[in-house]
Structure 1
Amino acid sequence: MYGGDEVSAIVLDVGYTSCKAGFAGEDNPKAVFPTAVGVVRSGKDGVVGKGPAAPGEKMDVDPPAAGAPAAAAAAAGTTAGTEEVKYNIGTQALSIRKDFMDIENPIQDGLIKDWDLAQKLWDHAFKDRLRIVPEEHPMLLAEPSFNSNECREKLLEIMFEHYKVPAVFISKNAVLSSFSCGRSTAVVLDSGGGATCVAPVHEGYVLQKAIVRSPFSGEKLTEYLLSVLEGKGTNVRPPYMLNKKIGKDGTIASVTEITGLENIRPSFKPHMQKTLITDLKEIACRP
């Protein structure tokens, strides 16, 4: 028999760099995957391009965990008509080179701007990673301290009308960070991938008028490191541009650059370069 505290709530936190989802009460999120989405659109004439969204949709996502039901492992949506949109979600799906794939992010200036892409991320979190039915779980949603009323209303609309969740509680990131340290009053510095925010918290409430925001963030630092390397003549080439040959002794015998990448979208190379520089940044710049 379940007690009153066991409500099996789901916690969602969508940031500029990563999306985190898990079960309330656990120490760590069950799923952490990139917020960026790879989108491949095909036009009516069969030429793949950045056309209007299609009625037929498919999703190419990271493989679900072992034991996942077939419905969770299946791609979302079916092909209909002559137009098609394919979404690639997850670290593995984004790291594979695909022709005509645009890298898009639903988060701009710290707020959700593309709600269709955000919904694809939530679909992936619910069906493929957590393997839950949203109708059966209350939701705890983490929002930026500077979130707008319009974004909050749209978020609630999607959760109640599309996912039909039984209950939703929205809490600001600064409040959750303060509570995680056992304090109801604190000054919280949140420096994420897309923005940096300082928010004072008093007795569990954020003082909105005292919030200070800055565009400097992890993404800006990554871009700066990339520009420094390129300024010194370093050609930062992501792995998808290179072809390695392994010798008989297991070592790399030769590395050549792959040609014929004309169908790769301009947004894909910077994304892969930033992924490479992020790894370098986390290795070289950590204390």
Structure 2
Amino acid sequence: MGSSQDEDSLGTGTCSPMSSLHECHQDELGLRSVSSFSSTTISSFLSEDLGLRTGPVVIDMGTRSCRAGFSGHQTPSAEISTLVSHTTVWSKGLEETRSEAFTGEEALLYPDTEIIEVMQNGIIINWEAAETLWQHMFEHKLGVPPEEHALLITEPPLSPTSGRENVAEVAFESLGSPGIFMAPQPVLSTYAHGRTSALVVDIGHVVTHAVPVHDGNCLAYATKRTDVAGSCLTWYLTMLLGDMEHTLGDWLSPVVEDIKHTCCYVAFDFDNECLVPPTSCTLDFTLPDGQTISLSKERFQCPEVLFNPLPTWGDSYMGIHEMAQRSLDLLPEDIRSVMHRNILLCGGSSLFEGLPRRLDSELAQCLPPGTEVEVVAVPGRRHAAWMGGSVLASLTNFQSCWIRRDEYYEEGPCIVHQKCF
């Protein structure tokens, strides 16, 4: 079934994704990490009969935002909020109503709308809303028709297998994509760093994961998670700034987010940092109305909960160093040393100044004496999974791994379990 375009524009034949990728790891992936990636190198990856002439699109969904862009680029072309809202508008003269959907930040601008939660703990829970979001991304942000682009969709850790089938249905039946592939976010993050084995510590908005990746495969049995994440830090900073609530006013939530990203840092030694005079760490922050507030010890007290969650939060909230240690302890000895030297910090809540050094120190203290530990934190780590997808979708050996539209209609959604690693 499928059109001739599918055969001409996508690689044909079958492949084992991992075997194909391993063939190119030494000469392509290892040397084409995102830090050295540029549009001029893409021509060395693609030939006339591989990939779409217009280039695959990589989509990375997070609880807070959705990132999308073209393979071979260093950064996403667009990023929007994962908010979706629906409002019912009465059509004059008709005895029916018309439903309108709004996406991204626009979803908050209209009264009498119902906010739809697309994601929960990093997992898509409303596929109709996800479809609306992706349609909006193509039409208004990327400015290209989805029918002309293969899609590489990132997959969060511990996601249900049914999610893959839902992605395929939306991509082929709603968006009309000629080809798709799904790859785990931790694996893509290792590719973004030019590696195939690492412990990926991804600190997101509502959940943090430690996922060992060995030879391009996620080791689910050693994957750990904690509920300590960006939203916890925002809440805690709000509490610390409680006395200023009257000053922050209507801007409370977005302003606290800005303060967290702009002003906060991780102390190397928290107890010693608490002893320094408050004036030595004071920083002024300008509010949207022009007023200025001064922050002092709140700057390092807020992200400290990444390592020392409040006791009242419960057992699901553990420090990120403890989470990483528990993951490492479950690994076979023969690969543990590789993981110790390749701990990759990723995610939007991993950008605090001082965090890599502190995590390195905490792990060195809780691992056996003499253990060589290296925490890697590249500047673009907020988009690590997307960047890894950009690299993967551009590799020559990957082009035969796409699930084509004709294959989908022949085999059904279950084909994703056969072709996606």
TM-score, normalized by the shorter chain, greater than 0.5 = yes
The answer on 1:183 being equivalent to 2:162 is no
AA aligned opposite 2:81? P
1:84: how far off?
A: 3.0
Describe the shift of the 1:105–1:80 C-alpha distance in structure 2 as closer, same or farther (beyond 3 A): farther
Name the residue aligned to 1:279: 258
Match of 2:98 among 75, 84, 97: 84
Name the residue aligned to 1:27: 74
AA aligned opposite 1:123? Q
Describe the shift of the 1:29–1:213 C-alpha distance in structure 2 as closer, same or farther (beyond 3 A): same
1:105: how far off?
A: 2.4
Name the residue aligned to 1:134: 146
CA distance in 1, matches of 2:195, 2:185: 14
CA distance in 2, matches of 1:165, 1:106: 21
For normalisation by structure 2, the TM-score amounts to: 0.48
1:243-269 deviation per Cα after TM superposition (whole angstroms, max 9, x unaligned) = xxxxxxxxxxxxxxxxxxxxxxxxxxx
1:163: how far off?
A: 1.4
1:227 match: secondary structure: helix
AA aligned opposite 1:182? G
1:80: how far off?
A: 7.6
1:146 match: secondary structure: coil
The answer on 1:192 being equivalent to 2:239 is no
Residues 65-214 of structure 1: pairs in structure 2 closer than 5 A: 82-91=96-105, 93-94=106-107, 96=109, 98-214=110-226
Describe the shift of the 1:172–1:81 C-alpha distance in structure 2 as closer, same or farther (beyond 3 A): farther
Give the gaps of 5 or more residues in structure 1. 47-55, 57-78, 240-272
Asked which structure has the greater CA Rg, the reply is 2
Match of 1:218 among 222, 230, 235: 230
Name the residue aligned to 2:28: none
CA distance in 2, matches of 1:80, 1:168: 41
1:95: how far off?
A: 5.7
> Do the aligned residues in 1 keep the contact of 2:135 with 2:175 (CA within 8 Å)?
no
Greater Cα offset, 135-144 or 1-10: 1-10
1:133: how far off?
A: 1.4
Give the gaps of 5 or more residues in structure 2. 1-45, 265-351, 354-421
1:3-34 deviation per Cα after TM superposition (whole angstroms, max 9, x unaligned) = 34553000001101111000000111110111
CA distance in 2, matches of 1:80, 1:171: 46
Give the root-mean-square deviation of aligned CA atoms.
2.4
1:237 match: secondary structure: helix
Describe the shift of the 1:41–1:224 C-alpha distance in structure 2 as closer, same or farther (beyond 3 A): farther
**Whose RCO is larger (CA < 8 A, sep 6+)?**
2
Greater Cα offset, 10-19 or 206-215: 206-215
CA distance in 2, matches of 1:139, 1:196: 26
> Do the aligned residues in 2 keep the contact of 1:185 with 1:204 (CA within 8 Å)?
yes
For normalisation by structure 1, the TM-score amounts to: 0.69
1:87-119 deviation per Cα after TM superposition (whole angstroms, max 9, x unaligned) = 22233x2464x3223433210122111111111
The answer on 1:15 being equivalent to 2:62 is yes
AA aligned opposite 1:159? A
CA distance in 2, matches of 1:144, 1:278: 24
> Do the aligned residues in 2 keep the contact of 1:195 with 1:213 (CA within 8 Å)?
yes
2:245 match: secondary structure: coil
> Do the aligned residues in 2 keep the contact of 1:9 with 1:137 (CA within 8 Å)?
yes
Greater share of strand residues, 1 or 2?
1
AA aligned opposite 2:100? K
CA distance in 1, matches of 2:202, 2:236: 20
> Do the aligned residues in 2 keep the contact of 1:16 with 1:105 (CA within 8 Å)?
no
1:162-186 deviation per Cα after TM superposition (whole angstroms, max 9, x unaligned) = 1121111100110010001010000
AA aligned opposite 1:13? D
Residues 219-238 of structure 1: pairs in structure 2 closer than 5 A: 219-230=231-242, 232=243, 234-235=245-246, 236-238=248-250
AA aligned opposite 1:32? E
What percentage of aligned pairs have identical amino acids? 30
1:234 match: secondary structure: helix
> Do the aligned residues in 2 keep the contact of 1:189 with 1:196 (CA within 8 Å)?
yes
> Do the aligned residues in 1 keep the contact of 2:131 with 2:174 (CA within 8 Å)?
no
1:63-98 deviation per Cα after TM superposition (whole angstroms, max 9, x unaligned) = xxxxxxxxxxxxxxxx9852233322233x2464x3
CA distance in 2, matches of 1:233, 1:33: 30
CA distance in 2, matches of 1:156, 1:131: 22
1:38: how far off?
A: 3.3
CA distance in 1, matches of 2:211, 2:129: 28
> Do the aligned residues in 1 keep the contact of 2:209 with 2:224 (CA within 8 Å)?
yes
AA aligned opposite 1:119? E
CA distance in 2, matches of 1:105, 1:224: 23
> Do the aligned residues in 2 keep the contact of 1:41 with 1:85 (CA within 8 Å)?
yes
AA aligned opposite 2:60? D
2:261 match: secondary structure: helix
Greater share of helix residues, 1 or 2?
2
Describe the shift of the 1:204–1:2 C-alpha distance in structure 2 as closer, same or farther (beyond 3 A): closer
